[in-house]
Amino acid sequence: MNFRPIIEGYKDEIIHKLQELVRIKSVNEEAVGDYPFGEGPYKALEYALDLGEKLGYKTENVDNYAGHIEMGHGDDIIGILAHLDVVPEGEGWTYPPYEGSIDNNRIYGRGTSDDKGPVIAALYAMKTIEASGLDIKKRIRLILGTSEETSPEDMRYYLSKKESPTMAFSPDANFPVIRGEMGILEIILTKQWDKVSTEKCRIKNVIGGNAANMVPDLCTSIIEANEISKKKVIEVIDEIRTRKGISVETEEIQDGIKIISKGISAHGGKPEEGINAISQMLMVLEMLDAGTTQVKEFINTYNEKIGMTYNGQKIGCGFEDDISGKLKLNIGVINLDEDSLNIRLNVRYPITIDSKIVIDNMREELGKCGIDLFVKNHLKPIYMDEDHFLVQKLMKAYKKVTGDYEAEPLVISGGTYARAMKNAVAFGINFPGEKETEHLSDEYIDIDNLLKCTEIFAEALYELIND
């Protein structure tokens, strides 16, 4: 089938609907009333379901955790698993993060590539299948979650209430097909400080980051200091900035100094592509020799065991395998004050490694300075043989549309809804060799790529419903 002419007819509608969806700020928040992940994700879900209904499809909202848009008939269900929540916008945007601005044939905004653009592409792929006049002998169900960026609870809840698709793909990663995903641990580190503070130059707080799975691009610290200490702090930081070439600034405030560490944001699964503002800040604070004895001990331990590294090699977790490569470790959020420490970090561990050894090794190393560790979320790795029916069908669709007949299935450090059920893989939407902008400032999707994704998804659905 040649679906491209049909998709071109929907081009303006696809662009406009994505812009409208991006304008809904759907960052996860605390539960409010009937909204388990805050009002923003709920509004995005309602928008998408309303759009699906207007396009003529059956829709259902499952207690505001998730919902679906369905077409076709039959016992088998081909699922498309996507999400409507987004990570916080962070700093450094040129374009408004919740506007859907168009420039240079790109739509800019948080969620354009992760995962609102794919949602719209999948929905209009369904519309394309319908418009082609094909006899749809299976059901196609676009399942929409609302907490993928922070918790697996949305899809767990949905699948506990509704039948699981026969097979599914999640348009939330890369092309071609993702047949394997590394294990993911979200870990919390905590410590309570003793109530002693006699230092002349002490740390009032260290605050940075927005989410465990984002490389933080900003971290600030307030140092309490007298006029003599202020001058010394500024001199030391000026020297550090010159000698180390790092982006750190100072601002004099009443009774102290505010230190501002600026990094470069990146996806937590690819920490090597960013610069971690938290790690940069703690390196500076160690050189200042500020803080109580316990705080200094923590800072020294952090820099010794983690620092600016991101493969866990200093903390006893430098694992790797031939299937998925090296472990990835990202420090995403820090809240340190005069009472306590709280850090949220994200670990992507190789497919063949047992998560227990990762956790035990980290706990042993950090326990030496009294830091407590507990696992908030754990997503086990997944792996599918490249000869699997689903992998083969999706690869066929991708190769037909792109002409990339040399493409091979991938294994990634990212995490998608493919873990939520059996017979599921990630499929799209980033094309090989092109910049990936999810979780970055100025996130965007190229309009031509958005239409190409829609065509690939339509081709994939055609392959799966006509088997």
Q: Are 24 and 43 in contact (CB under 8 A)?
A: yes
Residue 200 has pLDDT above 60, yes or no: no
Per-residue pLDDT tens digits for 249-272:
999 898 889 999 999 999 899 999
124 CB-side CA count, 13 A: 28
pLDDT > 70: percent of the chain? 99
Q: Are 141 and 67 in contact (CB under 8 A)?
A: no
Q: Are 169 and 460 in contact (CB under 8 A)?
A: yes
Q: Are 49 and 59 in contact (CB under 8 A)?
A: yes
Residue 207 has pLDDT above 90, yes or no: yes
Distance CA 149, CA 268 (A): 11
Residue 90 has pLDDT above 90, yes or no: no
Burial of 32 (0-12, 13-18, 19+ CB in 10 A): exposed
Residues in Cβ contact with 35 at an 8 Å cutoff, skipping those fewer than 6 apart: 41, 42, 64
The DSSP bridge partners found for residue 264 are 275
Distance CA 285, CA 221 (A): 9
What average pLDDT does range 186-208 have in this prediction?
82
- 201 confidence band (pLDDT: 50, 70, 90): low
192 token code pair? 């309570």
Residue 199 has pLDDT above 70, yes or no: no
> No. of H helices and E strands in the chain?
11, 26
Distance CA 329, CA 332 (A): 9
Distance CA 172, CA 181 (A): 12
Residue 195 has pLDDT above 80, yes or no: no
User: How many Cβ atoms sit within 10 Å of the Cβ of residue 13?
Assistant: 14
Residue 197 has pLDDT above 90, yes or no: no
Q: Kindly list the distances between the CA atom of residue 234 and the CA atoms of 154, 225, 251, 257, 260, in Å, as whole numbers in the listed order.
A: 47, 11, 9, 8, 12
pLDDT at residue 341 in the model: 96
In whole numbers, what is the pLDDT of the chain averaged over residues? 94
Q: Are 421 and 168 in contact (CB under 8 A)?
A: yes
Higher pLDDT, 237 or 424: 424
User: Which sequence spans correspond to the domains of the chain?
Assistant: 4-182+382-465, 184-379
Q: Are 172 and 112 in contact (CB under 8 A)?
A: no
Angle at 91 (CA atoms; ends 89, 93), nearest 5 degrees: 80
φ, ψ for residue 230 (rounded to 5)?
A: -55, -50
User: How many Cβ atoms sit within 10 Å of the Cβ of residue 287?
Assistant: 16
386 token code pair? 């490249």
Catalytic residue, candidates 70, 85, 224, 438: 85
> Which residue has 């010394």 as its token pair?
232
Q: Which CATH superfamily is domain 4-182+382-465 in?
A: Zn peptidases (3.40.630.10)
Distance CA 311, CA 317 (A): 7
- 230 confidence band (pLDDT: 50, 70, 90): confident
Q: Are 355 and 378 in contact (CB under 8 A)?
A: yes
> Which residue has 């299937």 as its token pair?
323
Q: Kindly list the distances between the CA atom of residue 357 and the CA atoms of 108, 315, 360, 364, in Å, as whole numbers in the listed order.
A: 41, 12, 5, 10
Q: Which of 71-85, 236-250, 252-266, 345-359 comes out lowest in average pLDDT?
A: 236-250
Per-residue pLDDT tens digits for 309-333:
999 999 999 999 999 999 999 999 9
Residues in Cβ contact with 73 at an 8 Å cutoff, skipping those fewer than 6 apart: 136, 137, 138, 139
Residue 244 has pLDDT above 80, yes or no: no
pLDDT at residue 194 in the model: 84
Angle at 172 (CA atoms; ends 434, 175), nearest 5 degrees: 45
- Tell me, yes or no, if 135 is annotated catalytic: no
Per-residue pLDDT tens digits for 274-313:
999 999 999 999 988 888 889 999 999 999 999 999 999 9
- 240 confidence band (pLDDT: 50, 70, 90): confident
Q: Beta strands 424-427 and 167-170: pairing type?
A: parallel
Residue 467 has pLDDT above 80, yes or no: no
Q: Which CATH architecture has domain 184-379?
A: 2-Layer Sandwich (3.30)
Q: Beta strands 167-170 and 77-83: pairing type?
A: parallel
- Tell me, yes or no, if 85 is annotated catalytic: yes
pLDDT > 90: percent of the chain? 83
- 196 confidence band (pLDDT: 50, 70, 90): low
Q: What dihedral do alpha carbons 262, 264, 265, 271 form, nearest 10°?
A: -120
- 134 confidence band (pLDDT: 50, 70, 90): confident
- 138 confidence band (pLDDT: 50, 70, 90): very high
pLDDT at residue 243 in the model: 78
Q: Tell me the residue type at 260.
A: I
Catalytic residue, candidates 115, 148, 172, 438: 148
What average pLDDT does range 391-411 have in this prediction?
96
Q: Tell me the residue type at 225.
A: A
The answer to whether the 4-182+382-465 and 184-379 domains have the same CATH topology is no
Per-residue pLDDT tens digits for 26-78:
999 999 999 999 999 999 999 999 999 999 999 999 999 999 999 999 999 99
Helix (H) or strand (E) holding 377: strand 372-379
DSSP 72-104: E-SS-EEEEEEE--B----S--SS-TTT--EET
